[in-house]
Amino acid sequence: MKRILTALVLALAPLSATLAHAQEAIPLARISDYLNGLTTAQSTFTQYNEDGSRSTGTLYVKRPGRMRFEYDAPNSGIVIAGGSTVIIHDKKSNQPPETYPLKRTPLSIILARRVDLGRANMVVGHSSEGALTVVRAQDPENPEYGHIDLKFSDNPVRLVQWIVTNEHGSRTAVALDGLKTGMSLSDNMFNTQTPRGGANR
């Protein structure tokens, strides 16, 4: 348990340690506009898992509906969200990829064709944390699927971190190292039928 708590604290520490002055929370309408304005995005990331482990990799986003995590060695795994499906592919395993519906993960909220954080019962928390705005969102029709805590910096608005709490209560924190936007990303990167490393970008 101590490892779990330490990992989650470390996920927050790099940001909160340098952001000492509280600011007003960014309005939900501005955050919705920001997310709806994202078409493609890319960032290296650090992921903190509830079992105390930590991994790094590169994230690719192509909205709506598509996201790809490429994990660095020694994990070397790939997670792809495409269409209505999420696959988890371990390249070192002879087993087929695990699959499950995208709608069962809170990440589907930010991958929706139109993000509306003002929708009734979607946002269940909206506050400032130092210089960051924290938005806790859930699927209003299926709150049992879990929730996501999204953290944004301001001027300009930028997504810097999230913590997903799944339907079983397990938490995973992802800290982005600087989200870049507007690049060209091939649709092949988000093909859930043939997961591959090094797809054309």
Per-residue pLDDT band at 160 (split at 50, 70, 90): very high
Confidence band, pLDDT 50/70/90 cuts, at residue 199? very low
Total domains present in the chain: 1
User: What SS3 class is residue 161?
Assistant: strand
* CATH code, domain carrying 27: 2.50.20.10
Alpha-helical regions (H) of the chain: 2-16, 28-37, 108-111
Identify the domain containing residue 31 by its residue range: 2-11+21-180
Say what percent of the chain tops pLDDT 70.
85
pTM equals 0.83
CA atoms within 13 A on the CB side of 73: 0
pLDDT: is 116 or 192 the higher one?
Answer: 116
- Cα separation, 71 vs 155, in Å, equals 30
Q: Could you tell me if residue 200 is inside a domain?
A: no
11-62 residue pLDDT tens: 444 444 434 456 799 999 999 999 999 999 999 999 999 899 999 999 999 9
Report residue 24: phi and psi, to 5°: -70, 145
183 pLDDT exceeds 90?
yes
